[in-house]
């Protein structure tokens, strides 16, 4: 796995996982701090809301206001927070505050839902697959994340061909 210095927020007392240590040490030598390749607070919401939106056809506000989808998003964000913690990242925004911010976005369709409706490939591997992979590397529980990833892969027009892809796009457009 290639960990590159692209995040600009310094972490206090970072303790990267042993398998990530060589890359992290190189980054620390070059920049004086350990950095990871994603902005965790943004990724934290994106990895939950984008696939849930694509799977349900719901907007950000609808996801937050539905008890079932809200509970799913909370489980996903809790699992991903544990992965971040094991990588030495501390979330500076409480989960509930992040959810309130997402709800305030209102009836916005996520980019993944827009891609699905347009028949474009989903960016599920970049958005969620990498987090599941990091979870595996650090031994974190990620069953909910993995299940949602598998479901999103199943509806991804970029992975499907012919009638199955058309049916997924038509179903998303009808919702």
Catalytic residues: 42
Question: DSSP character for 122?
Answer: P
Does residue 33 contact residue 15 with C-beta atoms inside 8 Å?
no
Length of the chain: 175
Structure tokens at 49: 């809301």
Q: Left if phi > 0, otherwise alpha if psi is -120 to 50, otherwise beta: which for 29?
A: alpha
Contacts of 84 (CB under 8 A, 6+ apart): 40, 44, 90, 91
- Select from 96, 131, 117 the least CA-distant residue to 53: 117
The helix (H) or strand (E) run that includes residue 80 is helix 67-86
Structure tokens at 138: 């650090």
């Amino acid at each position: 796995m290639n960990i590159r210095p692209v995040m600009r927020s310094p972490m206090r007392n970072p303790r990267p996982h042993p398998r990530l240590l060589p890359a992290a040490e190189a980054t620390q030598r070059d920049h004086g701090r350990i950095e990871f390749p994603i902005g965790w607070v943004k990724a934290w919401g994106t990895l939950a809301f984008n696939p849930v939106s694509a799977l349900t056809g719901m907007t950000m506000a609808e996801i937050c206001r539905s008890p079932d989808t809200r509970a799913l998003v909370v489980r996903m964000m809790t699992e991903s927070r544990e992965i971040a913690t094991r990588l030495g990242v501390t979330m500076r925004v409480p989960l509930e505050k992040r959810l309130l911010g997402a709800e305030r976005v209102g009836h916005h369709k996520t980019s993944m839902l827009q891609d699905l409706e347009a028949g474009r490939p989903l960016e599920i591997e970049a958005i969620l697959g990498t987090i599941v992979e990091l979870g595996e590397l650090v031994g974190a529980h990620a069953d909910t994340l993995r299940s949602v990833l598998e479901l999103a892969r199943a509806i991804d027009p970029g992975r499907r061909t012919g009638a199955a892809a058309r049916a997924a796009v038509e179903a998303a457009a009808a919702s």
